[in-house]
């Protein structure tokens, strides 16, 4: 699904979303694409791509507040147990709305598929993986969806997952579920090549 909607914007370099810190780079969304096989019922293929509109002829600039994460190669793997990083401004208390002003971050290990299936069964597809702690306590939550799970290896950061869903937030036996970006690298590269 493709849509054009300039009412959305993206802010890079944001840390406190209630204060203008002078580090922000704002861009309108020129175009966006949801994955053509996205299934709202199962949340399978829960990924989209945004094309940012140039601001006064300028693109985003990397600096100490805005850095890049690489797309994974379709064959790239991070082992179970590898500790990755999640971030977002989502809810910090699953029992009541409580979105923080400052960007939150946490470290979570990638979990084996069999461990994930103990809680989620057949709802977990090949396009998904889970990360977190079976004891609970650390997770993404409402408001974090679409955010990154990045993994580092040898000084290279890779966008390994996109925050998707879970049962509750930080609940024991129900770690967070993420879209597996390596399953979509070809789709992303084709869209970027054909819509530059």
DSSP character for 182? G
The whole-number pLDDT of residue 2 equals 54
The whole-number pLDDT of residue 5 equals 62
The whole-number pLDDT of residue 63 equals 96
The whole-number pLDDT of residue 7 equals 79
Phi, psi of 79 (to 5 degrees): -75, 155
Sequence-ordered list of residues with C-beta below 8 angstroms from that of 133, at least 6 positions apart, any chain:
108, 109, 175
The whole-number pLDDT of residue 4 equals 59
pLDDT in tens, the chain (196 residues): 555 566 788 999 999 999 999 999 999 999 999 999 999 999 999 999 999 999 888 899 999 999 999 999 878 899 999 999 999 999 998 788 888 999 999 999 999 999 999 999 999 999 999 999 999 999 999 999 999 999 999 999 999 999 999 999 999 999 999 999 999 999 999 999 999 8
Sequence-ordered list of residues with C-beta below 8 angstroms from that of 182, at least 6 positions apart, any chain:
72, 73, 74, 75, 76, 77, 160
Picking from 60, 59, 55, the residue whose alpha carbon sits closest to that of residue 12 is 60
The two structure tokens encoding residue 153: 């290896």
Alpha-carbon distance 86 to 104, whole Å? Answer: 8
Could you tell me the strand order of the sheet in which 104-109 lies?
Answer: 104-109, 83-88, 148-153, 156-165, 176-180, 128-131
The whole-number pLDDT of residue 6 equals 63
Beta bridge partners of 52: 29
The whole-number pLDDT of residue 8 equals 85
CB of 161 closer than 8 Å to CB of 172: no
Q: What is the pTM of this model?
A: 0.93
Q: Where do the domains of the chain lie, and which CATH numbers do they carry?
A: 2-67+184-194 (2.40.10.10), 83-183 (2.40.10.10)
């Amino acid at each position: 699904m493709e849509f054009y909607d300039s009412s959305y914007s993206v802010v890079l370099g944001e840390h406190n979303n209630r204060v203008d810190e002078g580090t922000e780079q704002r861009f309108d969304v020129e175009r966006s694409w949801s994955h053509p096989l996205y299934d709202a019922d199962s949340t399978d293929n829960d990924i989209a791509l945004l094309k940012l509109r140039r601001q006064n002829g300028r693109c985003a600039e990397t600096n100490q507040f805005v850095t890049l994460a690489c797309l994974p190669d379709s064959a790239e793997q991070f082992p179970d147990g590898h500790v990755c990083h999640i971030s977002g401004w989502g809810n910090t208390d699953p029992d009541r709305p409580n979105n923080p002003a400052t960007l939150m971050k946490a470290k979570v290990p990638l979990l084996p598929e069999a461990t994930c299936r103990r809680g989620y069964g057949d709802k977990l597809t090949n396009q998904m993986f889970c990360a977190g702690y079976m004891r609970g306590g650390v997770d993404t939550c409402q408001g974090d969806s679409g955010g990154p799970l990045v993994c580092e290896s040898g000084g290279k950061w890779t966008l390994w997952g996109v925050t998707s869903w879970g049962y509750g937030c930080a609940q024991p036996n129900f770690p967070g579920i993420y879209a597996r970006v390596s399953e979509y690298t070809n789709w992303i590269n084709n869209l970027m090549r054909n819509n530059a």
